[in-house]
Amino acid sequence: MYSLMAAYGVGWAVIMLYLLTLAARQRKLSETLQRMQLGGEERRVQ
Amino acid sequence: MLLAALWWALIGAPTEATMGTIQRIFYYHVPAAAASWTAFLINAAASLAYLKTRSLKADALAVAGAEVGLAFLTINLITGPIWARPVWGVWWEWDPRLTLTLAMWVMYASYLMLRQLTPESDHQPRLAAALAIFFAADIPIDYMAIRWWRTQHPQPVLFGGPDSGLAPRMLAALLLSMAAFLALMGMLLWLRYRQERLSQRLRLARQEQILSAVL
């Protein structure tokens, strides 16, 4: 029973960890995109 | 769908006579392998498409396939030994199926490392695509390993010949888990693909900015 719980628990943990990695990467990409858009606007104003 | 698959795997399917409750890992272990192989096949097909067309979309799909496939193969490689320990008495056995699966994990991990660690250039996706096609040869060999050789790993229960098969409720649980895992794999693949496309666009925009600053 404990082995079964461990297997299912670890399996779900891997998926959750991967989802968290995807979310963190998405945040980083969105920040970079925002910075680049701001930089472009600043250059246009100058 | 995942919750229904979980219910069938833990409660709906009957308990196997010889192994008991531990056999229920099967409904997690096998669909994880199927999802990882499907993702790696998508990686190979996209790599082939990239070599033919040089399409950045194909390259993004190849990266997504390798990464998502590796996540599911990790689940398969962790749940396998947890199942093996009470049934075989050992965590690991160097039999063809297990060894080929571990080799597959190392191959796709090295593919992703290559993409991460080498400098961005036109050669990098080309080299990665060639490697991916070469690595994909492991997929059919791994699939056939339990049919070609005598292995410690159990014989196939699906498409394994006249002696293979499952009780109807066990088969229903397995098929539902397969469908749920493939759907989850598809969703993760789509998310990762969109991320990679965004990352490609940012790289191109940065290159344009640098060029315009120089000129």
Residue of A5, A10, A15 to mutate when probing chain B, most B C-beta within 10 A: A15
State yes or no: pLDDT of B165 exceeds 80. no
pLDDT (tens digit, 9 = 90+) per residue, B12-47? Answer: 777 877 777 888 888 889 999 999 999 999 999 999
State yes or no: pLDDT of B53 exceeds 90. yes
Burial of B37-68, coded b for 16+ CB within 10 Å and e otherwise, reads: bbbbebbbbbbbbbbeeeebebbbbbbbbbbb
pLDDT (tens digit, 9 = 90+) per residue, A5-46? Answer: 888 888 889 999 999 999 999 999 999 888 887 776 666 666
Across the interface, of A11, A18, A26, the residue whose CB is closest to B79 is A11
State yes or no: pLDDT of B181 exceeds 80. yes
Between A41 and B206, the higher pLDDT residue: B206
Count other Cβ atoms within 10 Å, centred on residue B151: 16
CATH of span B2-209: 1.20.120
pTM: 0.89
ipTM > 0.85?
A: no
Question: Which residues 58-87 on chain B approach chain A with CB closer than 8 angstroms?
Answer: 68, 71, 74-75, 78-79, 82-83, 85-86
Tell me whether residues A32 and B202 touch, CB distance under 8 A: yes
- Give the residue extent of every domain in chain B: 2-209
